[in-house]
Structure 1
Amino acid sequence: MIKRLVDRLIFGGLLIATLQIPMLADHYLQYLSGFFDANTQQVDAYTANARRHGFDSAESMIDALLQEPNPIVRVDAEHKLEILRQHHMLEQAMETLSNGHLLDKALFMFNPVRLDELKRVLVHFKPGLPIDVESIAFCIVVALGLNLMLYLPLLLCRRLRKNNSRPAASPN
Protein backbone atom coordinates (compact mmCIF):
# COMPACT_ATOMS: atom_id res chain seq x y z
CA MET A 1 0.00 0.00 0.00
CA ILE A 2 2.80 2.42 0.87
CA LYS A 3 4.57 1.51 -2.38
CA ARG A 4 1.48 2.47 -4.37
CA LEU A 5 1.16 5.73 -2.47
CA VAL A 6 4.81 6.58 -3.09
CA ASP A 7 4.42 5.66 -6.77
CA ARG A 8 1.40 7.94 -7.11
CA LEU A 9 3.12 10.79 -5.29
CA ILE A 10 6.16 10.50 -7.54
CA PHE A 11 3.97 10.39 -10.65
CA GLY A 12 2.01 13.42 -9.40
CA GLY A 13 5.21 15.34 -8.79
CA LEU A 14 6.53 14.42 -12.23
CA LEU A 15 3.24 15.43 -13.84
CA ILE A 16 3.21 18.81 -12.10
CA ALA A 17 6.85 19.37 -13.10
CA THR A 18 6.25 18.46 -16.74
CA LEU A 19 3.14 20.64 -16.87
CA GLN A 20 5.41 23.61 -16.19
CA ILE A 21 7.28 23.15 -19.48
CA PRO A 22 4.52 24.67 -21.69
CA MET A 23 4.09 27.51 -19.21
CA LEU A 24 7.85 28.12 -19.18
CA ALA A 25 7.92 28.09 -22.99
CA ASP A 26 5.24 30.81 -23.08
CA HIS A 27 7.13 32.83 -20.49
CA TYR A 28 10.36 32.39 -22.45
CA LEU A 29 8.61 33.53 -25.63
CA GLN A 30 7.37 36.69 -23.88
CA TYR A 31 10.87 37.35 -22.58
CA LEU A 32 12.40 37.03 -26.05
CA SER A 33 9.60 39.03 -27.71
CA GLY A 34 10.65 42.26 -26.05
CA PHE A 35 14.29 41.67 -26.91
CA PHE A 36 13.33 40.72 -30.49
CA ASP A 37 11.23 43.87 -30.96
CA ALA A 38 14.07 46.14 -29.79
CA ASN A 39 16.55 44.26 -31.95
CA THR A 40 14.25 44.48 -34.99
CA GLN A 41 14.01 48.26 -34.58
CA GLN A 42 17.80 48.48 -34.63
CA VAL A 43 18.10 46.26 -37.72
CA ASP A 44 15.39 48.27 -39.48
CA ALA A 45 17.30 51.47 -38.69
CA TYR A 46 20.50 49.95 -40.12
CA THR A 47 18.63 48.91 -43.27
CA ALA A 48 17.06 52.36 -43.72
CA ASN A 49 20.44 54.02 -43.19
CA ALA A 50 22.06 51.69 -45.74
CA ARG A 51 19.41 52.43 -48.38
CA ARG A 52 19.60 56.16 -47.70
CA HIS A 53 23.33 56.02 -48.49
CA GLY A 54 23.06 53.88 -51.62
CA PHE A 55 23.67 50.38 -50.24
CA ASP A 56 21.51 47.38 -51.15
CA SER A 57 21.34 46.06 -47.59
CA ALA A 58 22.59 46.62 -44.08
CA GLU A 59 25.12 43.83 -44.63
CA SER A 60 26.66 45.56 -47.66
CA MET A 61 26.90 48.82 -45.68
CA ILE A 62 28.60 46.98 -42.80
CA ASP A 63 31.03 45.31 -45.22
CA ALA A 64 31.99 48.77 -46.52
CA LEU A 65 32.40 50.10 -42.98
CA LEU A 66 34.66 47.16 -42.09
CA GLN A 67 37.02 48.29 -44.89
CA GLU A 68 37.40 51.81 -43.45
CA PRO A 69 40.87 52.72 -42.11
CA ASN A 70 39.49 54.41 -38.98
CA PRO A 71 39.43 51.80 -36.15
CA ILE A 72 36.39 53.36 -34.44
CA VAL A 73 34.37 52.90 -37.63
CA ARG A 74 35.44 49.24 -37.86
CA VAL A 75 34.55 48.60 -34.22
CA ASP A 76 31.13 50.15 -34.78
CA ALA A 77 30.68 47.99 -37.90
CA GLU A 78 31.58 44.85 -35.92
CA HIS A 79 28.98 45.84 -33.33
CA LYS A 80 26.37 46.29 -36.05
CA LEU A 81 27.31 42.91 -37.52
CA GLU A 82 26.82 41.29 -34.11
CA ILE A 83 23.35 42.89 -33.86
CA LEU A 84 22.48 41.38 -37.26
CA ARG A 85 23.68 37.93 -36.10
CA GLN A 86 21.62 38.27 -32.92
CA HIS A 87 18.61 39.21 -34.99
CA HIS A 88 18.95 36.08 -37.10
CA MET A 89 19.24 33.87 -33.97
CA LEU A 90 16.25 35.63 -32.38
CA GLU A 91 14.16 35.02 -35.50
CA GLN A 92 14.89 31.30 -35.25
CA ALA A 93 14.15 31.29 -31.51
CA MET A 94 10.86 33.10 -32.00
CA GLU A 95 9.87 30.60 -34.71
CA THR A 96 10.69 27.64 -32.48
CA LEU A 97 8.92 29.02 -29.42
CA SER A 98 5.90 30.27 -31.39
CA ASN A 99 5.27 27.36 -33.74
CA GLY A 100 7.46 24.47 -32.61
CA HIS A 101 6.30 21.27 -30.96
CA LEU A 102 6.62 21.16 -27.17
CA LEU A 103 9.62 18.84 -27.42
CA ASP A 104 11.39 21.33 -29.73
CA LYS A 105 10.60 24.13 -27.29
CA ALA A 106 11.96 22.13 -24.36
CA LEU A 107 15.15 21.22 -26.22
CA PHE A 108 15.60 24.88 -27.14
CA MET A 109 15.02 26.19 -23.61
CA PHE A 110 17.10 23.59 -21.77
CA ASN A 111 20.06 23.75 -24.15
CA PRO A 112 23.17 24.28 -21.97
CA VAL A 113 24.28 27.08 -24.31
CA ARG A 114 21.25 29.11 -23.15
CA LEU A 115 21.59 28.39 -19.43
CA ASP A 116 22.16 32.04 -18.46
CA GLU A 117 19.15 33.13 -20.50
CA LEU A 118 17.01 30.41 -18.89
CA LYS A 119 18.07 31.59 -15.44
CA ARG A 120 16.94 35.14 -16.30
CA VAL A 121 13.59 33.82 -17.53
CA LEU A 122 13.12 31.71 -14.38
CA VAL A 123 13.58 34.75 -12.14
CA HIS A 124 10.07 35.99 -12.99
CA PHE A 125 8.45 32.62 -13.79
CA LYS A 126 5.30 31.71 -11.86
CA PRO A 127 4.14 28.07 -12.02
CA GLY A 128 0.79 27.39 -13.60
CA LEU A 129 -1.18 24.88 -15.64
CA PRO A 130 -1.48 24.88 -19.43
CA ILE A 131 -4.99 24.94 -20.84
CA ASP A 132 -4.42 23.33 -24.24
CA VAL A 133 -5.14 19.63 -24.58
CA GLU A 134 -2.02 18.88 -26.65
CA SER A 135 0.30 20.20 -23.93
CA ILE A 136 -1.53 18.35 -21.17
CA ALA A 137 -1.51 15.08 -23.13
CA PHE A 138 2.19 15.45 -23.95
CA CYS A 139 3.02 16.15 -20.30
CA ILE A 140 1.05 13.11 -19.11
CA VAL A 141 2.92 10.86 -21.55
CA VAL A 142 6.29 12.32 -20.49
CA ALA A 143 5.44 11.98 -16.78
CA LEU A 144 4.37 8.36 -17.30
CA GLY A 145 7.58 7.66 -19.21
CA LEU A 146 9.74 9.25 -16.52
CA ASN A 147 7.84 7.37 -13.82
CA LEU A 148 8.42 4.10 -15.66
CA MET A 149 12.12 4.92 -16.09
CA LEU A 150 12.42 5.52 -12.35
CA TYR A 151 10.71 2.27 -11.41
CA LEU A 152 12.11 0.02 -14.13
CA PRO A 153 15.38 -0.70 -12.24
CA LEU A 154 13.39 -1.54 -9.09
CA LEU A 155 11.09 -3.87 -11.01
CA LEU A 156 14.05 -5.60 -12.66
CA CYS A 157 15.84 -6.06 -9.32
CA ARG A 158 12.68 -7.47 -7.75
CA ARG A 159 12.25 -9.92 -10.64
CA LEU A 160 15.90 -11.00 -10.42
CA ARG A 161 15.58 -11.63 -6.66
CA LYS A 162 12.38 -13.56 -7.20
CA ASN A 163 14.02 -15.73 -9.88
CA ASN A 164 17.13 -16.29 -7.74
CA SER A 165 15.14 -17.22 -4.64
CA ARG A 166 13.25 -20.04 -6.40
CA PRO A 167 14.60 -23.45 -5.57
CA ALA A 168 16.50 -24.98 -8.43
CA ALA A 169 14.78 -27.91 -10.06
CA SER A 170 16.41 -31.19 -9.05
CA PRO A 171 17.99 -33.12 -11.92
CA ASN A 172 16.43 -36.43 -10.68
Structure 2
Amino acid sequence: MCVEVWDSSKDRLYYTIVIMIIQYIIPLLILCFSNFYIGILVWIRKLPGENHPTRIKELDQEKRRTVKVLICVAVFYALSWLPLHVITVVASNNQQLMSQEYLQVHWMFSHWFAFTNCAVHPINYFVMDKNFRKKTMKLFRSPCCSYLNNTAEFQMHRLDTGC
Protein backbone atom coordinates (compact mmCIF):
# COMPACT_ATOMS: atom_id res chain seq x y z
CA MET A 1 0.00 0.00 0.00
CA CYS A 2 1.25 3.45 -0.90
CA VAL A 3 1.27 5.82 2.07
CA GLU A 4 2.42 9.42 2.26
CA VAL A 5 4.98 10.14 4.97
CA TRP A 6 4.68 13.52 6.65
CA ASP A 7 6.76 15.14 9.36
CA SER A 8 3.64 16.21 11.18
CA SER A 9 0.12 14.81 11.19
CA LYS A 10 -1.19 18.37 11.34
CA ASP A 11 0.57 19.17 8.07
CA ARG A 12 -1.03 16.12 6.44
CA LEU A 13 -4.47 17.17 7.70
CA TYR A 14 -4.03 20.77 6.51
CA TYR A 15 -2.86 19.57 3.11
CA THR A 16 -5.87 17.25 2.80
CA ILE A 17 -8.28 20.03 3.77
CA VAL A 18 -6.72 22.41 1.23
CA ILE A 19 -7.03 19.71 -1.46
CA MET A 20 -10.67 19.19 -0.47
CA ILE A 21 -11.33 22.91 -0.76
CA ILE A 22 -9.65 23.12 -4.17
CA GLN A 23 -11.11 19.91 -5.62
CA TYR A 24 -14.57 19.85 -4.00
CA ILE A 25 -15.72 23.02 -2.23
CA ILE A 26 -14.67 25.58 -4.86
CA PRO A 27 -16.04 23.59 -7.85
CA LEU A 28 -19.26 22.95 -5.90
CA LEU A 29 -19.66 26.65 -5.15
CA ILE A 30 -18.97 27.58 -8.78
CA LEU A 31 -21.47 24.96 -9.94
CA CYS A 32 -24.14 26.15 -7.48
CA PHE A 33 -23.66 29.84 -8.26
CA SER A 34 -23.59 29.33 -12.03
CA ASN A 35 -26.64 27.04 -11.96
CA PHE A 36 -28.45 29.51 -9.69
CA TYR A 37 -27.65 32.33 -12.13
CA ILE A 38 -28.77 30.25 -15.13
CA GLY A 39 -31.94 29.27 -13.25
CA ILE A 40 -32.77 32.92 -12.56
CA LEU A 41 -32.15 33.87 -16.19
CA VAL A 42 -34.36 31.03 -17.41
CA TRP A 43 -37.09 31.89 -14.92
CA ILE A 44 -37.31 35.64 -15.60
CA ARG A 45 -36.76 35.47 -19.35
CA LYS A 46 -39.80 36.31 -21.46
CA LEU A 47 -40.04 34.16 -24.56
CA PRO A 48 -42.02 34.89 -27.74
CA GLY A 49 -45.53 33.58 -27.38
CA GLU A 50 -45.47 33.80 -23.59
CA ASN A 51 -48.39 36.23 -23.67
CA HIS A 52 -50.73 33.60 -25.11
CA PRO A 53 -52.68 31.87 -22.33
CA THR A 54 -52.31 28.42 -23.91
CA ARG A 55 -48.53 28.77 -24.17
CA ILE A 56 -47.93 30.14 -20.64
CA LYS A 57 -48.55 26.82 -18.89
CA GLU A 58 -46.31 24.90 -21.31
CA LEU A 59 -43.45 27.41 -20.94
CA ASP A 60 -43.74 27.35 -17.14
CA GLN A 61 -43.42 23.56 -17.19
CA GLU A 62 -40.32 23.80 -19.40
CA LYS A 63 -38.79 26.38 -17.05
CA ARG A 64 -39.48 24.17 -14.03
CA ARG A 65 -37.92 21.16 -15.78
CA THR A 66 -34.82 23.19 -16.64
CA VAL A 67 -34.44 24.37 -13.04
CA LYS A 68 -34.92 20.79 -11.79
CA VAL A 69 -32.16 19.56 -14.11
CA LEU A 70 -29.81 22.28 -12.84
CA ILE A 71 -30.60 21.37 -9.22
CA CYS A 72 -30.10 17.65 -9.91
CA VAL A 73 -26.69 18.29 -11.49
CA ALA A 74 -25.47 20.27 -8.46
CA VAL A 75 -26.95 17.89 -5.87
CA PHE A 76 -25.56 14.79 -7.55
CA TYR A 77 -22.12 16.37 -7.82
CA ALA A 78 -22.20 17.20 -4.11
CA LEU A 79 -23.41 13.74 -3.09
CA SER A 80 -21.16 11.75 -5.39
CA TRP A 81 -17.89 13.43 -4.43
CA LEU A 82 -18.56 13.96 -0.71
CA PRO A 83 -17.84 10.38 0.53
CA LEU A 84 -14.40 10.34 -1.10
CA HIS A 85 -13.40 13.63 0.48
CA VAL A 86 -14.79 12.68 3.89
CA ILE A 87 -12.86 9.40 3.88
CA THR A 88 -9.72 11.22 2.77
CA VAL A 89 -9.96 13.78 5.59
CA VAL A 90 -10.77 11.13 8.20
CA ALA A 91 -7.96 8.85 7.01
CA SER A 92 -5.44 11.69 6.94
CA ASN A 93 -6.30 12.45 10.53
CA ASN A 94 -5.86 8.80 11.55
CA GLN A 95 -3.54 6.75 9.30
CA GLN A 96 -4.33 3.54 11.20
CA LEU A 97 -7.82 3.57 9.74
CA MET A 98 -6.49 3.02 6.21
CA SER A 99 -5.07 -0.33 7.26
CA GLN A 100 -8.61 -1.53 8.02
CA GLU A 101 -9.95 -3.67 5.21
CA TYR A 102 -13.50 -2.27 5.38
CA LEU A 103 -12.21 1.28 4.94
CA GLN A 104 -10.24 0.24 1.85
CA VAL A 105 -13.47 -1.15 0.39
CA HIS A 106 -15.24 2.11 1.22
CA TRP A 107 -12.32 3.99 -0.34
CA MET A 108 -12.66 2.06 -3.62
CA PHE A 109 -16.45 2.40 -3.61
CA SER A 110 -16.24 6.14 -2.95
CA HIS A 111 -13.87 6.54 -5.92
CA TRP A 112 -16.26 4.62 -8.13
CA PHE A 113 -19.23 6.63 -6.85
CA ALA A 114 -17.42 9.93 -7.43
CA PHE A 115 -16.59 9.03 -11.01
CA THR A 116 -20.19 8.05 -11.76
CA ASN A 117 -21.00 11.75 -11.53
CA CYS A 118 -20.01 12.18 -15.18
CA ALA A 119 -21.99 9.16 -16.34
CA VAL A 120 -25.19 10.27 -14.64
CA HIS A 121 -25.55 13.57 -16.51
CA PRO A 122 -26.72 12.07 -19.82
CA ILE A 123 -29.15 9.84 -17.91
CA ASN A 124 -30.45 12.86 -16.00
CA TYR A 125 -30.94 14.80 -19.25
CA PHE A 126 -32.57 11.80 -20.95
CA VAL A 127 -35.07 11.38 -18.11
CA MET A 128 -35.91 15.05 -17.59
CA ASP A 129 -35.59 16.66 -21.03
CA LYS A 130 -38.02 15.72 -23.78
CA ASN A 131 -35.91 17.32 -26.55
CA PHE A 132 -32.74 15.51 -25.43
CA ARG A 133 -34.69 12.25 -25.37
CA LYS A 134 -36.04 12.81 -28.91
CA LYS A 135 -32.61 13.69 -30.30
CA THR A 136 -31.00 10.70 -28.60
CA MET A 137 -33.61 8.36 -30.03
CA LYS A 138 -33.13 9.97 -33.44
CA LEU A 139 -29.39 9.31 -33.15
CA PHE A 140 -30.07 5.61 -32.57
CA ARG A 141 -32.25 5.54 -35.69
CA SER A 142 -29.49 7.12 -37.81
CA PRO A 143 -27.59 5.10 -40.44
CA CYS A 144 -24.52 4.83 -38.21
CA CYS A 145 -26.61 2.74 -35.84
CA SER A 146 -28.30 0.62 -38.51
CA TYR A 147 -27.50 -2.64 -36.72
CA LEU A 148 -29.28 -1.39 -33.62
CA ASN A 149 -32.20 -0.16 -35.72
CA ASN A 150 -32.75 -3.64 -37.13
CA THR A 151 -32.74 -5.55 -33.85
CA ALA A 152 -36.10 -6.82 -32.65
CA GLU A 153 -35.69 -5.34 -29.18
CA PHE A 154 -35.11 -1.83 -30.54
CA GLN A 155 -38.04 -2.19 -32.96
CA MET A 156 -40.29 -3.14 -30.03
CA HIS A 157 -39.03 -0.14 -28.07
CA ARG A 158 -39.80 2.13 -31.03
CA LEU A 159 -43.34 0.73 -31.22
CA ASP A 160 -43.87 1.15 -27.46
CA THR A 161 -42.58 4.73 -27.31
CA GLY A 162 -43.85 5.90 -30.67
CA CYS A 163 -40.33 6.93 -31.75
Asked if Structure 1 and Structure 2 have the same fold, meaning a TM-score greater than 0.5 normalized by the shorter chain, the answer is no
Shorter-chain TM-score: what band? Answer: 0.3 to 0.5
- Considering only CA atoms, is the larger Rg found in Structure 1 or Structure 2? 1
